[in-house]
Structure 1
Amino acid sequence: MAARETKPNGKSQLIRDLKNGEFATLYIISGEESYMKEYYLRQLRQKVVDETFADFNLIEFEGKGLTPEMLTEAIDSYPAMADKKLIIVKDFDLFKPPAGFADVLPSVLGDLPEYVCLVFYYDVLDGKPDKRTKLYKTLEKRACFAEFAHAEEQELVAWLERRAKALGCMIEPGDASYMIFLCGNSMTNLAGEMEKAAAHTTTGVIKRYNIDAVCSPVLDAVVFDLTDAVTAGRFDRAVALVGELLAQKNNEVMIFTAITRHIQRLYAAKLCAENRGGEKQLMEMIGSKSPYYARQIQNAARRVPLSWLRKAASLCAETDAALKGGAADRQKQIELTLLTMAAELKGEKK
């Protein structure tokens, strides 16, 4: 049965298909950015299925309970009073399927009827294809792989500006970048934080103080403040932040992993500066797509000597081993390491 060739950029193909109203028989939607995945799944529901006949032409399965018989029956039944039917399967591991699917999937997915629009949607599972498998070779020819990664900072800033406008406010690009730094790059999370900031402003302009007043910082942003407190000699503030993170149900290993990662990024920024590396090079070194974050790391790294960063990195490695080795009081272990870091820095500055 004829099928369209896979386009090089599956995300662009999905967007084009929705615009043109011409749909592939098979989509595989995955990626980190839940907001965009959910948006385009909603669009498929609206565009492929007439709501009047949704009871007949929209079938949804959870991957965990799916059987080969359920899938083939859904595919083989014709749509009612329509040209297409939509079948959505959520979190089904195509490349490590349950028993009974191995022989079925290549033949079924390789010859889907034109009246079917089948979507494998990944929310909890990552949905990354295993290109070594026989099934992948079939899907490569037949499926549209639409992967939604987190947007670049420039895209997110423009999107936040549009969100603010829709809420009757405005936000400057610098303040939008700060919101991304504080709240993370998840569009789902940022949408909620933007609503809080818009409700807080009394001037119609969302400023940094509105964001600080009502928005919830992600772990990396709190750790940034925590490390700044250590380097500024404000040990009490650093300990208080550890307590706040624990109260928010972050475990000690997770918190200290974030601290270690931050120290490593400061070290990378220091080395990059000493070798006259630019912002782009630093972003590659620290694995960040955010120019704003890279500049913040650069500024923080300027305030501490390289020798201290080496010692701090060594302390982090020792503490990480102790925490994972079953330290009796993990919170105290973290606090002791932060105190040692602060003392070492004070000695460096004398």
Structure 2
Amino acid sequence: MAVKARPDTTALQQLKKQLKENALGNLYVFHGEEAYLRDHYLGQMKKRLLPAGMEDFNYHVINEKEFDLKKLAQFIDCLPMMSQRTMVVVNDHDLFKGDKEGLTALLKELPEYVCLVFVYDLIAYKADARTKLAGVLKEKGCVVAFNRQEQGDLVDWIARRFKALDHDIGTEEAKYLIFKCGDLMHTLISEISKVGAYASHRRVTRQDIDAVATPQLDAVVFDMTDAIAAGNFDKAASVLGDLYHMQERPINLLAILGKQLRQLYTARLALEQKKGSRYLVELWKMRSAYPAERLMQSARRFSLGWCRRAVIRCAQVDLAMKSTGADGEELLTGLLMELAVKKGA
């Protein structure tokens, strides 16, 4: 089974090198899920290119609603004022729609003083390699993908962020924070701030994280199945009640629970076949081994037969929700009770 390929970071490394050497180019395209990294590097570019206090004269932003080639050309033609460079940022304009020929001609003749950055935030970047525009971007530009970071890099970054708040965090606790809150840096930064403000000791603990961090929905459902595994139906029911109180739709909760149970089933099968957590990482295309390790630990507390029946019952309840018009909360609560009662079977 093939391991998921690591994202290509060549363009990002090139950007880092250009910033370090103060040798930024004229044309960039920024895209990808990791908005925190994207905004960080935009800020670094702005600092490198524009003297402090002169941003109003040399920094120009165009949003998609106000975009047209004439306005872009006007900003590009604006000469720097008390600066060597100008910076133009275009937000959420799809380069490969609209007047591609006009845009291609404009990008071919960018002045040396301008740094033009197309930022994809609310829309996805989809290049059309058949166009002349794609050729110009390849020749004169740098297309930088800000992808989700690998777990090791995230753990190091989390440690640095907590250190800046006069706290330390261990590797396992950092992995737990990622598991609990997700692996996007722009989400984690606010969670780190909350945990750092709450923690009363220098060393951050799981209890600190659980006390104030806002968990992602998948992690909450995992806690619910963990409670079932521990024979604690009251806790499992309490978690489900909290999700109802948050107005999460039963059909959405069932979808996440169904995925969780399928993963649990494959973890139990892996144990039966003497396979390790790496098998789950590859099978489910997980970004790190930590969720797989948690699944393997949980699977040890369930029988293979229970896991198989749980997956089947989840599919049956899903069909009932979609076809019978029965109350979704009642169906999901009933499923939870059934899973808890037959946990040991």
TM-score, normalised relative to structure 2? 0.89
5+ long unaligned stretches in structure 2: 1-7
5+ long unaligned stretches in structure 1: 1-6
Correspondence 1:88 to 2:86? no
Alignment partner, residue 68 of structure 1 = 69
**Offset at residue 278 of structure 1 (A):** 2.9
State the distance in 2 between where 1:311 and 1:110 align: 62
The RMSD of aligned alpha carbons is 2.3
State the distance in 1 between where 2:82 and 2:258 align: 59
CA spacing shift, 1:201–1:55, aligned 2, 3 Å: closer
State the distance in 1 between where 2:323 and 2:312 align: 17
State the distance in 2 between where 1:264 and 1:134 align: 46
User: Aligned AA for 2:175?
Assistant: S
Q: 2:329 aligns with which of 311, 328, 331?
A: 331
**Offset at residue 133 of structure 1 (A):** 4.5
User: Contact 1:64 / 1:91 at 8 angstroms: preserved in 2?
Assistant: no
Cα displacement string for residues 68-99 of structure 1 (whole angstroms, at most 9, x for unaligned residues): 2211222233222322110001111223x2x4
State the distance in 2 between where 1:146 and 1:291 align: 27
Q: 2:243 aligns with which of 227, 242, 245?
A: 245
1:60 is paired with a residue whose SS is strand
State the distance in 1 between where 2:32 and 2:14 align: 16
Structure 1 window deviating more from structure 2 (336-345 vs 117-126): it is 336-345
Cα displacement string for residues 160-215 of structure 1 (whole angstroms, at most 9, x for unaligned residues): 11111111111111211111111211212222222222222222111111112222
Taking the TM superposition and a 5 Å limit, the aligned residue runs for 1:202-217 are: 202-217=200-215
User: Aligned AA for 2:290?
Assistant: Y
State the distance in 2 between where 1:259 and 1:305 align: 18
1:51 is paired with a residue whose SS is coil
Correspondence 1:79 to 2:80? yes
State the distance in 1 between where 2:252 and 2:140 align: 41
State the distance in 2 between where 1:133 and 1:274 align: 52
User: Contact 1:327 / 1:333 at 8 angstroms: preserved in 2?
Assistant: no
2:117 is paired with a residue whose SS is strand
Q: 1:228 aligns with which of 226, 229, 245?
A: 226
CA spacing shift, 1:136–1:310, aligned 2, 3 Å: farther
User: Contact 1:160 / 1:176 at 8 angstroms: preserved in 2?
Assistant: yes
Alignment partner, residue 116 of structure 2 = 118
Alignment partner, residue 3 of structure 1 = none
Alignment partner, residue 57 of structure 1 = 58
User: Aligned AA for 2:331?
Assistant: Q
State the distance in 2 between where 1:54 and 1:336 align: 61
Q: 2:150 aligns with which of 149, 152, 156?
A: 152
State the distance in 1 between where 2:170 and 2:114 align: 45
TM-score, normalised relative to structure 1? 0.88
Cα displacement string for residues 289-309 of structure 1 (whole angstroms, at most 9, x for unaligned residues): 222221101111111122222
Structure 1 window deviating more from structure 2 (305-314 vs 213-222): it is 305-314
Percent sequence identity is 36
Cα displacement string for residues 206-260 of structure 1 (whole angstroms, at most 9, x for unaligned residues): 1111112222211111010111223344444333222322333433333222212
State the distance in 2 between where 1:131 and 1:15 align: 26
User: Aligned AA for 1:70?
Assistant: K
CA spacing shift, 1:144–1:338, aligned 2, 3 Å: same
CA spacing shift, 1:105–1:251, aligned 2, 3 Å: farther
CA spacing shift, 1:59–1:323, aligned 2, 3 Å: farther
Alignment partner, residue 106 of structure 1 = 104
State the distance in 2 between where 1:83 and 1:118 align: 14
Taking the TM superposition and a 5 Å limit, the aligned residue runs for 1:334-345 are: 334-345=332-343
Cα displacement string for residues 86-133 of structure 1 (whole angstroms, at most 9, x for unaligned residues): 0001111223x2x4x233222222332222111111222232434454
Alignment partner, residue 125 of structure 2 = 127
CA spacing shift, 1:135–1:267, aligned 2, 3 Å: farther
